[in-house]
Structures are given as C-alpha cells and as structure tokens.
Structure 1
C-alpha cells in the first residue's frame, strides 16, 4: 500500500473509511497540515455528536496526490480533497491526473466525494464546471453566504437555516464561475456565487474552510499582506473578522452525515 497517515476518530456508531487527498502536503499552518486540521474538526464533530448519523468511527488515511499516491475508491466510503495553493485550472501533470481520477471515482464507483476550497474547485473542473481567477480579488476570513432558495442548503446545514446565512472562514482567489451540469448550488456570497455544490449520494463541496480556525486565518492573512497580495485596509478588515463565530463545526457534522448517507 502507498505510504500514508492513518488514524481512527472514535465515537459509538458505525465505521466509515475516509481517504484524505492532500493537494498541498507542504502547506503547514500554525495548527498543522490540512490533514491535521480535518482530523481535529472531525474529532470535534463525532465526540460532540447530536444525532445518530454523527456517531461514527472515522478511519482516516491520507494520500499525497502531488506525488502520485492514490487510494482505490472501492476501499473507502468517502474521499475528501483538501485546499491547496495550486490553481485548479492549471495543467500540471499531477493536476491533470487528479482530474481524471475524480472522473473515475464519480462515474465508476459508489464512493462519495467531498471537496474543500481547491477540492471544491478541482471537483467542479473534473465534472464539467469552470474555474477562474476572481477579478474582484481575494475572499478571506469569516464570510456570509446566502443559502439557496430551494431549501437544500437549509437541510444540509440546519444551524445556518435560522437566518438563511452560512458563515465560514475563506481563503481563496480562484473560484467556480460555472457549476458542473446537474449540480445544485448550495450557497452564494457577494464575491463568489458558487460557494458549495451537491449531488445526492455523490458530491458535497464547499468553497469555504470549515477546518480553519481564527489562528490559521490570521497567519494566512498576515502572510498575504506581507507578500503584497492583500492591501493593508482589506487585510485589517479580514483580521477583524477572523474570530467571528461561524458554522465550521456544523459543516463538519454535515460532512459526516453526508458520508453516512442520511441525506439520500
């Protein structure tokens, strides 16, 4: 088997196998890698479970897809694609290979796909959507997103349905400008109108980062300011919003419920 990082997040319910595809394994935040952040999120979600669908054992295995390491889809209940500093519309060999892999998983297996930020974008590209650089600039820190009017977003994220607004940490310049055919758009912000996608039993994606906390976001924003990629005024505004309460944990629970099949 390919080299990987494996762990079990335990609660009292059924066991689910989750493969995390690291699309930027060299990216290390103040709180660890993307895998570390997702493990922390799912530990919180399963130990604080509020319904049986969240009471699962998540057996997590990590694969470095930049180095060409991939899981066999049939061996996992779900595959989660992380964020990345790479551009989902580029033609690097590892990105093209990832696009083909996503198509194979989606069209030829029952394994569920979850994408976050870059993961959201690359799944969109692979399944026929369009990803571009946002001419409006960076969307960073806690951001308000209006849930779709059809009620599916409210079903997936009931905690956000109270006022119809989903709040998540953001950290991206690229965005999905056209969703794949047949995909349901879950939410929209002022800067990016495709903030999440859903296909029953197959796909759940979010442009925002449910796994990010304010410490991670502050570090990333300060780095953008230092590199001249974010202006001082916009940077200060983002830093001021970093600690605003958001639905990160609630979205994490929704991912667990999606993997458990309760929305089908």
Structure 2
C-alpha cells in the first residue's frame, strides 16, 4: 500500500462568501478537484482516490505559518485577488518560501493563476498587469509541442480570471501554452514544477458567482460580465489538468 501523496495548499486568498461556505476555503476547492483527478486517473494501485491524497490547507495571508518541507510531497499555490508583484510582507514571504522549495529537489510545486505568477517572480521574471485587459471565464489555451505532449491534446479549455501576467518565461523553463491575451499560460520543469495561468479548480457555479460580484463592484463592465457569463458553463478541461498534475507528482 502506497503512502498518501501529501499536498500542502497555500491559500493565497479567501473565496467569495458562497464558495467559501460550500468548500471551506480554497483548500476545500482543490481537495474536490484533486479527488476528481484521482478518480479520472483511474490507477488506484498508484493513487487511491479515497486514501491516496492528504491535502492540508495553509492560510498564508492571515497566518504566517508554512508547512515543513520534510512533512509534505508537494506545494500548491492558489489564485488570489491580490497582485503578485506587490511587496506586502506576506507576498515577499511567499516568494521566499517558493524559492526555498525551488532550491531543493524532492518537494514539487503546482502554481495556479496568482501562484503561477509568484513562481515566475521567484524565478526572476517580470510580473505585472497586462495591457490586454481581463481574461475571464472559459477560454482556449493554445499548447506548445511540449504542452500537447504533456496534456495529450492540441489545446485545452480552462476557466480564467486574471489581468496580471508573467511577462516572459524564466530561463530553462518549458513553455506550455499561450492565448491571445496572455503569452505565458503555463510553465513546466520536469520533477520540479508545473503551472497554469487559468483556474482548473473553478466550476461554472464558482466562476459565475465571482463574475456577478465583480460586475456589481464595477470591476467588470456589463458587456464584459455578459460575455463571460455566456461562457461560464462551457465544457472545460479542469479535471484533465488535475490528472496531469497528479501524474507529474507521481512521476519518479
């Protein structure tokens, strides 16, 4: 019997109220995604969906406690409403912790949206606001040759919710894909890290709630919101991306 895959989810934000009540933080959201990925992987001898995942959640915004690397196998950096290029103490601490993980060769990294940008920053790339504006709801991500090989398809569809980007790929990193609004949609380094700019963990219900709240706050125009809501429940590859993440974490 295999020991559980120990994944520390670094919660870089608190979900909107309805989502938070349903899932109890982003740790809960990713618990659901990763279990669905384990079921879809369908290799219980390698990863039993019922017993093979040990997911812990760490609120690093409000509590400056991080997991000990010897106690975990992987770190997952979530999305966030905050800016990955800010120099607030908790973001500086997160960048430093990410660099600490990158400096060793056992614990692996998964980066989602803000987490993708933090990893880019930790590797020395510029991160900041895009001049292309928001990328919202289900969008196509065009894959590089390496991305096609990794994901086993020509393109992937993924929920998006960002206007910040990684401007260029860091040195010695494999590019995974791009979109018309974002050139750096995913980064990969075998046995070290894999990231996506989009949100494989977002369901149609989650993205709809976020869009509606941000439209009421005036963050999105009515036209932006209607366009995004029209695509919110489109089919997407979130679970397939979770399968790729788990294969990456299980790879010897």
Q: TM-score, normalised by structure 2?
A: 0.92
| Range with bigger deviation, 27-36 or 63-72 | 27-36
Matched, 1:193 2:189: no
Q: Using the TM superposition, give the Cα deviation of residue 74 of structure 1 relative to its aligned residue in structure 2, in angstroms.
A: 2.2
Question: Helix, strand or coil for the counterpart of 1:211?
Answer: coil
Matched, 1:134 2:126: no
Root-mean-square deviation (CA), in Å?
Answer: 1.7
Matched, 1:154 2:143: no
Matched, 1:23 2:12: yes
Q: Which whole-Å CA distance do the structure 2 matches of 1:28 and 1:129 have between them?
A: 33
Paired residues of 2:10 and 2:58 also in contact (CA < 8 A): yes
Gaps of 5+ in 2: none
Q: Deviations over 1:11-70 (max 9, x none)?
A: x85521111111113654434321111111112122233346554601111112122110
Question: Helix, strand or coil for the counterpart of 1:193?
Answer: strand
Question: Helix, strand or coil for the counterpart of 2:85?
Answer: coil
Question: Helix, strand or coil for the counterpart of 1:253?
Answer: helix
Q: Which whole-Å CA distance do the structure 2 matches of 1:186 and 1:74 have between them?
A: 29
Gaps of 5+ in 1: 1-11
Q: Which whole-Å CA distance do the structure 2 matches of 1:184 and 1:194 have between them?
A: 11
Matched, 1:110 2:100: no
Paired residues of 2:146 and 2:175 also in contact (CA < 8 A): no
Question: Helix, strand or coil for the counterpart of 1:178?
Answer: coil
Q: Using the TM superposition, give the Cα deviation of residue 230 of structure 1 relative to its aligned residue in structure 2, in angstroms.
A: 1.2
Q: Which whole-Å CA distance do the structure 1 matches of 2:143 and 2:231 have between them?
A: 20
Matched, 1:84 2:80: yes
Q: TM-score, normalised by structure 1?
A: 0.88
Question: Helix, strand or coil for the counterpart of 1:210?
Answer: coil
1:34 corresponds to which of 26, 32, 36:
26
Q: Which whole-Å CA distance do the structure 2 matches of 1:186 and 1:178 have between them?
A: 12
How many residues are aligned here?
Answer: 245
| Range with bigger deviation, 30-39 or 187-196 | 30-39
- Provide closer, same or farther for how the CA distance between residues 50 and 21 of structure 1 changes in structure 2, counting only shifts above 3 A: same
- Provide closer, same or farther for how the CA distance between residues 147 and 54 of structure 1 changes in structure 2, counting only shifts above 3 A: farther
